[in-house]
Amino acid sequence: GAVVSQHPSRVICKSGTSVKIECRSLDFQATTMFWYRQFPKQSLMLMATSNEGSKATYEQGVEKDKFLINHASLTLSTLTVTSAHPEDSSFYICSAKYPIEQFFGPGTRLTVL
């Protein structure tokens, strides 16, 4: 149990375009999901906390207008990287809290050309 999926697993886009990443809890409901970014050979950096039915809470230094988060249901949170640039290329990982443990999605590799 407690499976989290992410889609897509890999995306390549042109600079200036927007990319949406979905995070789903498959067999449980998650009121809280988290979005992380991980650059090569670095740690997971929390970007924002996504709460179902309310606005996301962003960590210091993360632009909320660039990284749009929508947690529209108890099983789905989406992260949209708007006007992506090459420096946004990274591994984006979500996690869902159930009930107190965090379960991680498989990650999305974003490459911006």
What gap in Å lies between CA 5 and CA 87, rounded to an integer?
25
Q: Which of 62, 74, 80, 104 binds other proteins (CB under 8 A)?
A: 104
Tokens of residue 62, six digits: 């993360």
Taking the least distance from each CB to other proteins, the nearer of 45 and 68 is 45
In 3D space, the residue among 28, 27, 35, 67 whose CA is nearest the CA of residue 51 turns out to be 35
Can residue 62 be called a binding residue for other proteins (CB under 8 A)?
Answer: no
Can residue 97 be called a binding residue for other proteins (CB under 8 A)?
Answer: yes
Q: How many chain residues are in contact with other proteins, going by CB under 8 A?
A: 18
Can residue 15 be called a binding residue for other proteins (CB under 8 A)?
Answer: no
What gap in Å lies between CA 20 and CA 78, rounded to an integer?
7
**Hey, how many other C-beta atoms are within 10 angstroms of the C-beta on 81?**
24
Taking the least distance from each CB to other proteins, the nearer of 82 and 97 is 97
What is the SS3 assignment for 36? Answer: strand
Positions touching other proteins (CB under 8 A) are 34, 42-46, 49, 91, 93, 97, 100-102, 104-107, 109
